[in-house]
Amino acid sequence: MTSAPHAAAAGAHPAPAAAAASPASTLITDIGELWTLDPALDDAPERQVLHDAALVLEGGRVAWYGPAADAPAADERVDAAGRAVLPGWVDSHSHLIFDGDRSAEFEARMAGRAYAAGGIQVTTDATRAALDASDGDRLEQLVRARIAEAVAGGTTCLETKTGYGLTLEDEARSAALAARLVADGTLDEATYLGAHLVPLEFDGAHGRPGAGAYVDLAAGPMLEAVREQAGDLLRWADVFCEDGAFDVAQSRRVLRAARAAGLGLRVHGHQLARSGGVALAVELGAASVDHLNHMSAEDVDALAATAALPVREDADGRLAMDAGPTVATVLPACDLSTRAPLAPARALLDAGAVVALASNCNPGTSYTSSMSFCVATAVLQMRLSLAEAIRAATRGGALALRRADVGHLAVGARADVHLLAAPAAIHLAYRPGMPMTAAVWRRGQRLHPAA
């Protein structure tokens, strides 16, 4: 497939030369509404959405986009039948490496019991048992099934974390599982979250060590074991800087150790109260701070002040982890599940902060990987416009993960495509809860429905 003759077509962009071993090319045509979110057109956002458009995928990358009438030939032709096409969702915050069920806790919360961080221990106990059983095969199967569910809903770039092992051995085994999934292309980003909760073994009671000893472990031998098991396939470290988990000083210690070990930084903060997580994330140059339910004007302004910080290119479509804005990642499904105040996404955007939407898929407070649901909630409840919500769920998540290759459909981007079962993307919010995913391509391969 040769696209160079189409470079002059209105809205069309030439493709780089294809590699000799590239897979067959795919033309998706008769697209009613194509959201490219092409970064080259950020100064003219009206040109980032095309109508009567087409898209060509080749070699795992976007090779061409433009008017359907000008589309080049390809080996395979897919008729979108006037439906909308988006970049695949980028989910920058999930907790998929777990076993066990916490539906009783959820039911109690819906009956009026307040959410507290300690419920994580229930999942920790079940996950440790799963890691011990059959060398963790059951747990890996569960994680793979959860990723498949996310893909079926249009998610094509996904981060997930350790954090339900909370012993040196179990965190290392969780990290090894995540690294295997990154290595085989099933998962995109892996994060070390040894500082998720202080486990019961470190509660300081009856002669047991206290929280300080656990921080020593999480910032030292546990971190070293995770790095040994996962290597460069695990790029990130996170902390739960929150009442009932880790205070600012403890969180800072873990994050500084992680940065010294070569990891990028992420923070859970301000979910239960103004925990100091925002100021800490900004201080340390974290790539994102997530939750943000309890925010002051000062917190909002602090995140907005990072928005203009320049990114730095790394390799293979990635950006340097230690440069760029601290992205404000909001988790609307979690907010609903915990009946928490909605994170102030509208105020953050109005102040100029970079905002991402993520699922926070986990068994206790947000047991969904549906990014479409998160987008609908952001529009209906958080008062984002459709364009703002889609950008937050694609480009915003990509920046939170320091990725330049996903979250958009510019020429050269990874060929991650979400074909909606609707003529326009507004149907995501106009028809909330309805099945809106018709097909999904990841790296140019059709994954849903299976080809």
Q: Is 283 left (phi over 0), alpha (psi -120 to 50) or beta?
A: alpha
Q: What is the pLDDT of residue 133?
A: 84
Rounded distance between C-alpha atoms, residue 428 and residue 431, angstroms: 6
H helix intervals, 221-352 = 221-230, 248-260, 277-284, 297-304, 332-338, 345-351
Q: Give the pair of three-digit tokens for residue 323.
A: 């440069």
What pTM was computed for the model? Answer: 0.94
Per-residue pLDDT of the chain (451 residues; tens, 9 = 90+): 433 322 323 334 333 333 333 459 999 999 999 999 999 999 999 999 999 999 999 999 999 999 999 999 999 999 999 999 999 999 999 999 999 999 988 998 899 887 765 578 889 999 999 999 877 689 999 999 999 999 999 999 999 999 999 999 999 999 999 999 999 999 999 999 999 999 999 999 999 999 999 999 999 999 999 999 999 999 999 999 999 999 999 999 999 999 999 999 999 999 999 999 999 999 999 999 999 999 999 999 999 999 999 999 999 999 999 999 999 999 999 999 999 999 999 999 999 999 999 999 999 999 999 999 999 999 999 999 999 999 999 999 999 999 999 999 999 999 999 999 999 999 999 999 999 999 999 999 999 997 6
Q: What is the pLDDT of residue 16?
A: 36
Name the residue among 309, 307, 305, 299 with its Cα closest to residue 343.
Answer: 299
Rounded distance between C-alpha atoms, residue 421 and residue 185, angstroms: 26
Stated as kind and residue range, the H or E segment containing 419 is strand 417-420
Rounded distance between C-alpha atoms, residue 44 and residue 89, angstroms: 22
Q: Are β-strands 236-241 and 189-195 bridged in parallel, bridged antiparallel, or unpaired?
A: parallel
Stated as kind and residue range, the H or E segment containing 391 is helix 386-391
Q: How many CA atoms lie within 13 A of 419 on its CB side?
A: 26
Residue type, 322: D
Nearest-5° angle of CA 359, CA 185, CA 153?
35
3-state helix, strand, coil in the chain (%, to 5): 40, 20, 40
Q: Any residues with CB less than 8 A from the CB of 160 and at least 6 apart, and which? A: 94, 95, 96, 97, 143, 178, 187, 189, 190, 191
Q: Give the position of tokens 């040894």.
A: 194
Rounded distance between C-alpha atoms, residue 274 and residue 76, angstroms: 53
Q: Are β-strands 49-58 and 26-35 bridged in parallel, bridged antiparallel, or unpaired?
A: antiparallel
Three-state SS for 134?
A: helix
CA dihedral 392, 393, 394, 396 (to 10 degrees): 40
Name the residue among 145, 93, 98 with its Cα closest to residue 121.
Answer: 98
Neighbours of 306 (CB within 10 A): 20
Q: What is the pLDDT of residue 450?
A: 76
Q: What is the pLDDT of residue 13?
A: 38
Q: What is the pLDDT of residue 451?
A: 61
